[in-house]
Structures are given as C-alpha cells and as structure tokens.
Amino acid sequence: MDDKEFSGLADGVMARIEAALEVATADIDFELAAGGVLEIEFADGSKIIVNRHAVGREIWVAARAGGFHFRWDGNNWLDTRDGAELMGKLSQVASQQAGEPIELR
C-alpha cells in the first residue's frame, strides 16, 4: 500500500468513526484535530485517542483498556494482536469508558 492509498483509507475510517459518534446516544464529545487525531472525551473526563500512523500504515487507538494497532487487510482494519475489527473494538473500549453500551458502526 502506498501513501496515497493509506491516506484515503485512513480518511475514510476516520469519517466513519465521526459519523458513528454523531449518532451515539452517550454523553460523548469529540474533535478531529490537525494531523488527523481524533479525541473522544467522555463525561468523566477520560479520553480515547484515535490517530493514523502513516509510517506503519496503521490506525492507533489509545484507551484506558490499552493501546491498539489496526492494519488494513484488504477488507477491514484489524487489530494486529487479536484480529478484532476496529469499529467493534472501539465500541467495546468506548462502552467500558462511558459505563454504558456504545455501538459504533
């Protein structure tokens, strides 16, 4: 995958995450900052950070539950450790931090 393809895929998944957060019913604030870093803040002040790591061609997620790296497999962004899909894992860690179910699709 070249830089242009990664950038397009990363832009697409970041837009997908933003759209999912827009319709989430939990008390969540979020902002896409310069450089493509998405900060998701919860009512208790905790955050999840989602960003692109261009050198590794990965999407990185930092949450209370830990750090996760997702790599494009041709169809999905999958966790490099357990193979979980990005939106499912993000739903899981967001639900843990919010203390209520959050479904991001």
Tens digit of pLDDT for each residue in 93-102? 999 999 999 9
Please tell me the distance from the alpha carbon of residue 59 to that of residue 71, in angstroms, as a whole number.
Answer: 7
Spell out the residues 6+ positions from residue 73 whose beta carbon is closer than 8 angstroms to its own. none
Superfamily for domain range 3-95: Frataxin/CyaY (3.30.920.10)
Domain boundaries, the chain: 3-95
At 44, list the tokens.
């208790």
Which pTM does this prediction carry? 0.93
The values of phi and psi at residue 12, to 5°, are -65, -45
Cβ proximity of 92 and 64 under 8 Å = no
At 71, list the tokens.
């790599």
Tens digit of pLDDT for each residue in 30-72? 999 888 899 999 999 999 999 999 999 999 999 999 999 999 9
Please tell me the distance from the alpha carbon of residue 56 to that of residue 73, in angstroms, as a whole number.
Answer: 13
